[in-house]
Structure 1
Amino acid sequence: MAMSPEQPSAPRRSRIALWLVLLLLLALGGYAGWHQWRAREQAVVNSTQQQVDALSERLNAMRTEQRAQARRLQQADSLNRVLRDELDGITQRAALLETSVERLADPDRHGAQALRLDETEMLLTIGSQRLQIAGDLDGARRAYALAAGVLDGIDDPAYLSLRQTLLQERTALDALGADPRVRAIAQLDAYTQTVTAPAGREERARDERAPWWQRAFGNLLQVQPTDRAVAVQAADRAAALAGLQLEISLARAAAERRDTAGYRDALRRADTWLQRLAPDSAARTQQRAQLQALAALPLSLSVPTLGSTLQQLRQLRAR
C-alpha cells in the first residue's frame, strides 16, 4: 500500500500565513516610511534652496547698494576736491585783496599816487609792446606821451629821475622820425614810377625813331651782338618788365612785414630784370645804384633805450 506525503497541519499553515501577512505589512510600512522620508527630505531641500535663493538675492541687493555707495563716495570726494580748490582760490584772492588794501593803506604810499603809478606802468607797457610787436611808432609815441602826463601828476621827488629817463626815451622815439618801413615803401614806390613807366615810353619812342625798313622788317630779322643779355623783342621786354614789377611788388610785401632778407632778395632779383630791360649806360647804372640804396634801407625800428623807463619804474615800486 503506497504512502502519501505528510500534509501540514492547519496550525502550521496559519502560522505561515501570519508570517506572510506580517512581512507584507512590514514591507508596506517600510515603503510608506521611506516615501514619507523622501517627501520630508525633498521639502527640506526645497526649503534650503529657497533660503539660498533668498540669500543670493539679498547678497546681490547688498552688492548693488555697495556699488551705489561707492559711486556716492566718489562723487562726494570729487565735490570735496572742487570745494577745496575753490576755497584755496578764495583764500588766495583774499590774500591779494588784503595785500592791495595794505598797500593802499600804507602812509608812505597814497592811494591816488599808487593808481597813477599803475596807470603809468600800464601805458609804458602798451607803448613798448606796440613798438616791438606791431611796429606802431605813432601809437608808441602817444602811449609814452600819456604816461608822461600821468607821471607829471605825481609830486613825489623820488620819481624825478624817472621823469628824466622817460624824457630821454621820448626824445629817442621822436628822433626816429618816420617809420623806416614806411620810408622804405615810399621810396620803393617812387622808384617804381621812375623805372617801369619810362621803360614803356622809351620803347615806344625807339620804335617811332626807327627807320622805315626796321619798322617794316624788324619782326622778321634783327641783328644784335651774341653776348648781349638785353631783351630786344617786344615780348621779351614785356616779360622782363612784368618780372621787374613782380619783384618790386614782392619787395614791398616783404617790407610790410619787416622781412629784411626777403626784401633784399626781391630787390636783387629786380636788379637782374633791370639789366634785361636796358643796355649798359649811365642811366642804368644810376637806376641800379638807386636799387642798391633801397636794398640797404633798414626796415626795423632800433631804440636802444626802449623799456628803460618801465624797468626803472618797476624797480622803484619794488623798493
Structure 2
Amino acid sequence: MAGIPPCDPAPVSAPSPVPTPTLRRTPAWVWLVLLVLAALLGWRGWTGWRARSAQEHAVAASTEERMAALTGRIDALRRDQRAQLQRLQQADATNRVLRDELLGVGQRAALLEDSIARFADPDRHGAQALRLDETELLLVLGEQRLLIAGDLDGARRAYALASGVLEGVDDPAYLSLRQVLVQERAALDALGTEPRAAALARLDAFDRQLRAQPPPGASAGSPTTAPWWQRAFGRLVQVQPSERAVALHGGDRRQAELGLQIELSLARAAAERRDADGFRQALGRADAWLTRLWPESPALRQERQRLQALAALPLSLPLPTLGSTLQQLRQLRAAP
C-alpha cells in the first residue's frame, strides 16, 4: 500500500454567487407629504396647546376675580356685622340708661306720693307738724349740746323747751312720748354736774395749786437758808434717796416742770374727747414727773392722792336714757 501512489481528489466546483436583492428607492414626493403632515400635526398641537393655556389662564383669572369679589363681600359683611354689633351695644347702653332713669322716675314718684300722703294726713299737717319738727330740732340740739360741748344747763333748757312745744300736740298717740320726755328730763336734773366738765375743773384746780405752791425742799439748796455744811460742800456732794432722784438744779427742774405740764395738757385733751384710758395714762405719767419735782414728804403723798382721785373720775355720761325721746319721736313719725 505504501507503493500505491496517492490519487488526486476530484476537483470541486465553486458555488455560484447568490444574487442580492435590490432596494427600491422611495419617491421624494412621499417624504414631502410626510413632512407636510408632520408640520400640520405640530402646528395643530401647538395651536391646541396655546388655546388650552389661554383657556386655563382665563379660568384662573376668573377664579381669582371671583375670590377677590367673595373676599370683598366677606369683608363688607364683617364690617356690617361690627356696625350692627356696635349699634346693638349702643342700644343696650341706651336701654340701660333709660331703665335707670325710669327707675329713678318711679322712685321719685313714690317719694312724691309719700310726701303727698303725709301732707294729706290730718295728723301730720299744719301746726301739729310744725310742733313735731320743732320738738325734734330741740331734742337734737339738747343731745348734741350735752355730748359735744358738755353744756348740761344748755341741754336742760333745750329739753324744757321741747317739753313745752310737745304739750301743744293734742294727738293721744304722743302721750307716751311726753312720758318718756319727762323721765329723760328727770334723769338730766338728777345728773348734777357733767362728768367731763367736773374732771376738767378739778384738773385745772390741781394745775393752779401746783403753780402757786412751790414743792417743799425746792429752796433747800439756797445759800441763805441751807445749813453750813450744805453751803460748804453742796457744790461737791449731793445727798439724795437711792430709790429715786429729785431734780434740784435749775435745768433739771425746768425740764421736769415742762414734762409735768405736757402730761397735764395731754390729760386735759383726753378728757375733752372723753378718752378715759388716755386720761388715766397721762395722769400716771404726771405722777412720775411729780416724784421728780417733790421730795418724799406728806405734801407729795397728798398731791399723788389727788392725782389718783382725778384718774378715778368718770368722763362719760351715766345716762342710759339719753336720746330715747328723740328715737321714739322719729319712730312715731316714720310709722305709716
TM-score range, shorter chain: 0.7 to 0.9
2:36: which partner in 1? 21
Amino acid paired to 2:324:
S
Deviation at 1:312, TM superposition (A): 3.0
Per-residue deviation at 1:60?
1.2
Alpha-carbon offset, residue 82 of structure 1: 1.9
- Amino acid in the other structure paired with 1:295: A
Alignment match, 2:109: 94
CA distance in 2: counterparts of 1:245 and 1:130, whole angstroms = 29
Give the aligned residue type for 1:104.
Answer: F
Alignment of 1:259-278 (within 5 A): 259-278=275-294
* Cα distance change, pair 107–248 in 1 and its aligned pair in 2 (3 A): closer
Q: CA deviation at 1:4?
A: 7.7
Q: Is residue 82 of structure 2 the alignment partner of residue 81 of structure 1?
A: no
Q: Distance in 1 between matches of 2:254 and 2:105?
A: 72
Describe the shift of the 1:44–1:265 C-alpha distance in structure 2 as closer, same or farther (beyond 3 A).
same
CA distance in 1 between counterparts of 2:158 and 2:36 reads 131
Alignment pair present for 1:313 and 2:329: yes
Is the CA contact (8 Å cut-off) linking 1:250 and 1:266 kept in structure 2?
yes
Residue 157 of structure 1: how far off its partner (Å) = 4.3
Query: Is the 2:218–2:248 contact (alpha carbons within 8 Å) kept by the matching residues of 1?
Result: no
Note the 1:126-165 alignment, pairs <5 A. 127-128=142-143, 131-132=146-147, 134=148, 136-137=150-151, 140-141=155-156, 144-145=159-160, 147-165=162-180
- After superposition, the CA RMSD in angstroms is 3.1
Counterpart residue identity of residue 47, structure 1: S
Shift of 1:21: 0.7
Instruction: Tell me which residue corresponds to 1:60.
Output: 75
* Residues matched between the structures, number: 313
1:38 aligns with 2:53: yes
The CA distance in 2 between the partners of 1:131 and 1:57, in whole Å, is 82
Aligned-partner residue type, residue 209 of structure 2 = T
Tell me the secondary structure at the aligned position of residue 203 of structure 1: coil
The residue identity in structure 1 corresponding to 2:213 is P
The CA distance in 2 between the partners of 1:147 and 1:43, in whole Å, is 104
Question: Gapped runs of 5+ residues in structure 2?
Answer: 1-19
**CA offset at residue 77 of structure 1?**
0.9
User: 1:190/1:147 Cα in 2 relative to 1: closer, same or farther (>3 Å)?
Assistant: same
**Moved segments of 4+, more than 6 Å:** none
AA partner of residue 275 (structure 1) = T
Q: Secondary structure at the match of 2:246?
A: coil
Task: Please give the alpha-carbon distance, in whole angstroms, between the structure 2 residues aligned to 1:264 and 1:191.
Answer: 15
Following the alignment from structure 1 to structure 2, what is the Cα–Cα distance between the partners of residues 50 and 142?
98
Shift of 1:45: 0.8
The 5-angstrom pairing of residues 1-319 of structure 1 reads: 6-8=24-26, 12-125=27-140, 127-128=142-143, 131-132=146-147, 134=148, 136-137=150-151, 140-141=155-156, 144-145=159-160, 147-199=162-214, 203-204=218-219, 207=222, 208-211=224-227, 214-224=230-240, 226-227=241-242, 229=244, 231=246, 233-234=248-249, 235-317=251-333, 318=335
Letter in 1 for 2:49: W
Q: How far apart are residue 59 of structure 1 and its match?
A: 0.5
Q: Classify 1:279/1:52 alpha carbon distance in 2 versus 1 (closer, same or farther; 3 Å).
A: same
Alpha-carbon deviation of 1:218?
A: 0.9
Q: 1:189 to 1:36 in 2, by over 3 A?
A: same
Which is worse superposed, 47-56 or 176-185? 176-185
Change in Cα spacing, 1:129 to 1:31, as seen in structure 2 (3 Å) is: farther
**Mapped partners of 1:218, 1:246: distance in 2:** 31
Cα 1:80–1:144 change in 2 (3 A) is farther
Q: 1:308: how far off?
A: 2.0
- The superposition leaves residues 292-311 of structure 1 with CA deviations (integer Å, 9 ceiling, x where unpaired) of 22112221222222122123
What is the CA distance between 1:164 and its match in structure 2?
3.8
**Counterpart amino acid of residue 281 in structure 2:** D
Q: C-alpha separation between the residues in 2 aligned to 1:122 and 1:129?
A: 11
More helix by share: 1
The one-letter code matched in structure 2 to 1:46 is A
Change (3 A) 1:278 1:79: same
Long gaps (5+) in structure 1? none
Shift of 1:28: 0.7
The more displaced of 258-267 and 106-115 is 106-115
Any conservation in 2 of the 1:141–1:170 contact (CA below 8 Å)? yes
Name the CA shift for 1:100/1:111 in 2 (closer, same or farther; >3 Å).
farther
Residues 43-89 of structure 1, C-alpha deviation per residue, up to 9 Å, x if partnerless? 12111101111211220121122112112211211221221122112
Deviation at 1:177, TM superposition (A): 4.9
* 161-170 or 21-30, larger mean C-alpha shift: 161-170
| Structure with the greater alpha carbon radius of gyration | 2
* 2:299 partner letter: A
